[in-house]
Amino acid sequence: MPNKLYKTAMDAFSDLKAKGVLRDGITVMVGGFGLCGIPEHLILALRDSGVKDLTCISNNAGVDDWGLGLLLQTRQIKKMISSYVGENANFEQQFLKGELEVEFNPQGTLAERIRAGGAGIPAFFTATGVGTLVAEKKDTRQFYKPGDGVGGKTLASANHPGKQTREYVMETGLFADLALVKAHKADEFGNLVYRKTARNFNPMMATAAHMTIAEVDQIVPIGSLDADQIHTPGAFVKRIVQTVSQKRIEQRTVAGAVAAKK
Amino acid sequence: MPLTREQICQRAAQELKDGFIVNLGIGMPTLVANYVPAGMDVWLQSENGLLGMGPFPEDAAVDAELINAGKQTITARPGASFFSSSDSFGMIRGGHIDLCILGAMEVSQEGDLANWMVPGKMVKGMGGAMDLVAGVKRVVVTMEHTSKNGSSKVVPACTLPLTGKRCVDMIITELCVLEMDPEMDPSRRRFVLKQVAPGVTVDEVKAKTAAEIIIPANVGIVGG
């Protein structure tokens, strides 16, 4: 079995330029929701590799001094595909100056585009975003709703009196050159187990790139993970690095506190 | 007296039913969780991948890997489950969430919602709002009835970019409760004035509402 284990994030990146995987202009998926479940050391290694003009697919863009915010500081990102970027002042400045391109996707559409890309599905239809800016210049089609007894049939396929059709917009699958994900545990084959809400976008991203590198809290021997409890099968993971993460908290809220106001 | 923020949340909590699976938006809607009626079991879904969200943790139990969609540290109640973002939005898009409560900048008289973008201002993104309003069975908006300059936020047609079309089922403001009539012909969707806040008159609601709304013979009082 080929070795998937690397000592450090830098090691995992060391031959990627020579292999042509890591170069200017590539598309990189980066897991995490806010700062929760981000591959901290792999992001640092990506920054230190110096590649630029990156398209980053990530739900958020980190904060100014952590996560993908680090690659915004160094201006290595040309374009972000995200659903929400509210926590980052660098982002705002570069965006307003026209130095950074942004494609906003509804969060569920983003998740499904990644899932679809990893599953070999080039496109799908969703009701999310119909009638909004998101659907502009995209194909739309009328379908009967799933669950209404004639679900999945197109308007043209049959006439169903009394059944309402709904408009859906076509969205395309996403597939990246490189995916950087964070899991809690891996075994030596690359089977991954995530922890709590640090799972978020990581499982889909692990499936949707030519090269997936997983950063984990703990690597365990093959056979020590319960096969029934594995979230990402090892087929999707090419490289594994064990690290000690900072796991920064964005909003520390404790019992007795009042929920944040708008 | 117009309703306070707390009273708006209290009123919104009356839309909950036992066993409901509910997604609460960031900000005022989050506070609705404080008013779940005693004895009622409601399951809170957080779109970052948790069903069965509990209250904020004790200081010693704070876990960086257990957060809600507002990135606040929270807890998971017994019976909770964690899942990926694609499973989470499968739950949302697939119609498995009973109710969502969220804020708004504008709602049109047909129930179009605008709550994510003001042209010319920094755009932060729509997050999960478009998926929620397209997929959740019932969408309740809590918001102030008028903007800071006094103009109505319930409008004939939204001027801001939309989050979703014809998706809002109920609006709760400091002045009143407006509910979309589900039996109304789809081509003539309008909100019905269900309740006014104690001491607020129907005429005041009419004066502060730019949208065409239906005013029935009997309008209830919030909490009455």
- Residue A262 pLDDT: 35
Q: Give B157→chain A minimum CA distance, Å.
A: 13
Question: In this structure, is residue A27 part of a structural domain?
Answer: yes
**Residues of chain B numbered 88-127 and touching chain A (CB < 8 Å):** 88-90, 92-95, 103, 112, 117, 122-127
**A46 in the same domain as A139:** no
Residues from chain A that touch B91, judged by Cβ atoms under 8 A, are: none
pLDDT band per the 50, 70, 90 thresholds, residue B140: very high
pLDDT at A194: 98
Q: Which of A96, A200, A247 sits opposite B64 (nearest CB)?
A: A247
Asked whether residue B124 is assigned to any structural domain, the reply reads yes
| A117 belongs to a structural domain | no
Residue A156 confidence (pLDDT): 56
pLDDT at A144: 86
Residue A59 · residue A84 · CB < 8 Å: yes
Report residue A260's pLDDT band, with 50, 70 and 90 as the boundaries.
very low
Does any domain span residue B147?
yes
Residue B204 in domain: no
Q: Which domain holds residue A161?
A: 123-171
Whether A128 and chain B come into contact, CB under 8 Å, resolves to yes
The total number of structural domains in chain A stands at 2
Q: How much is the pLDDT for A256? A: 79
A160 and A178, same domain (yes or no) = no
d(CA B108, CA B191) in angstroms, rounded, equals: 9
- Give the list of residues 6+ apart from residue A159 with CB closer than 8 angstroms, or none: none
Question: Does position A250 have pLDDT exceeding 90, yes or no?
Answer: yes
pLDDT at A157: 57
Residue A158 has pLDDT above 70, yes or no: no
Asked if residue A134 and residue A35 are part of one domain, the reply reads: no
Mean pLDDT over residues A185-205, rounded? Answer: 98
The answer to whether residue B159 sits within a structural domain is yes
Q: CB distance from B57 to chain A under 8 Å?
A: yes
Dig out the tokens for A185 from the structure. Answer: 């545990």
Q: How far is CA B61 from CA A31, A42, A94, B49, B79, in A?
A: 25, 28, 38, 19, 18
In this prediction, residues B212-221 reach a mean pLDDT of: 96
A215 has pLDDT over 80: yes
Identify whether residues A56 and A163 lie together within a single domain.
Answer: no
pLDDT at A152: 60
CB–CB of A92 and B122 under 8 A? yes
Domain limits for position B134: 5-173
Is A102 in the same domain as A186?
Answer: yes
pLDDT of residue A153: 63
Average pLDDT of B18-43? 94
Residue A24 shares a structural domain with residue A73: yes
Task: Give the pLDDT confidence score for residue A164 in this predicted structure.
Answer: 77
- Which residues 29-68 of chain A have a CB within 8 Å of chain B? 33-37, 59
Note the pLDDT of residue A261. Answer: 40
Asked whether residue B222 is assigned to any structural domain, the reply reads no
| Average pLDDT of every residue of chain A | 93
Pair A76, A11 in one domain:
yes
Pairwise CB contact (< 8 Å): B73 & A146: no
Averaged pLDDT for residues A154-158: 59
Tell me the pLDDT band of A257, cut-offs 50, 70 and 90: low
Single-letter code of the amino acid located at A72: L
d(CA B30, CA B81): 20
**pTM reported for the whole predicted model:** 0.96
Which amino acid, residue B42?
V
Q: What is the pLDDT of residue B161?
A: 97
Are A163 and A210 within one domain? no
Mean pLDDT of the residues in chain B: 96
Does a structural domain hold residue B105?
A: yes
Read off the CATH number of the domain in which A66 is found: 3.40.1080.10
A78 and A167 assigned to the same domain: no
- Is B179 designated active site? no
Does A57 share its domain with A140? no
Strand-pair partners of B179: B170, B192
pLDDT of B173: 98
pLDDT of residue A216: 98
> Considering only CA atoms, which of A118, A49, A51, A54 is closest in space to residue A81?
A54
The CA distance from A91 to the nearest CA of chain B, in Å, is 10
Q: Kindly tell me if the per-residue pLDDT of B97 is higher than 90.
A: yes
Is the distance from CB of B138 to CB of B98 less than 8 angstroms? yes
Q: Among B15, B47, B106, B110, which one carries the catalytic annotation? A: B47
Structure tokens, A220:
């365990």
Closest of A57, A50, A67 to residue A16, by C-alpha: A50
Beta bridge partners of B214: B192
Kindly report, residue by residue over A19-36, the tens digit of the pLDDT: 999 999 999 999 999 999
- What pLDDT, on the 0 to 100 scale, is given for residue A161? 65
Residue-wise pLDDT for A117-148, tens only, equals: 999 999 999 999 999 999 999 999 998 887 77
Q: Which residues, 6+ apart, have CB-to-CB distance to A10 below 8 Å?
A: A45, A48
Residue A56 and residue A150 in one domain? no
Is B211 domain-assigned? Answer: no
Q: Check B48 against A33: CB less than 8 A apart.
A: yes
CA separation for the pair A62, B123 (Å, rounded):
16
Residue B108 lies in a domain: yes
CATH number, residue B152:
3.40.1080.10
Angle of helix B85-93 versus helix A107-118 axis, rounded to 10 = 120
Chain B residue closest in CA terms to A107: B128
Q: Is the pLDDT of residue B77 over 60?
A: yes
What average pLDDT score do residues B66-85 get?
Answer: 97
**Residues A201 and A212 placed together within one structural domain of the fold:** yes
Interchain contact, B64 vs A132, CB within 8 Å: no
Contacts of B97 (CB under 8 A, 6+ apart): B21, B22, B23, B45, B91, B132, B135, B136, B137
Answer yes or no: is pLDDT of B107 > 70.
yes
Interface test with A, best of B23, B130, B139, B141 (most A CBs within 10 A): B130
Interface residue A85 vs chain B (CB under 8 A): yes
- In this prediction, residue A19 carries a pLDDT of 96
The interface residues of chain B toward chain A in range 123-182, judged by CB-CB distance below 8 A, are 123-131, 134-135, 161-165
Q: Tokens for B99?
A: 């109710």
Chain A hits for B165, CB-CB cut-off 8 Å, are 130-132
Number of domains forming the structure of chain B? 1
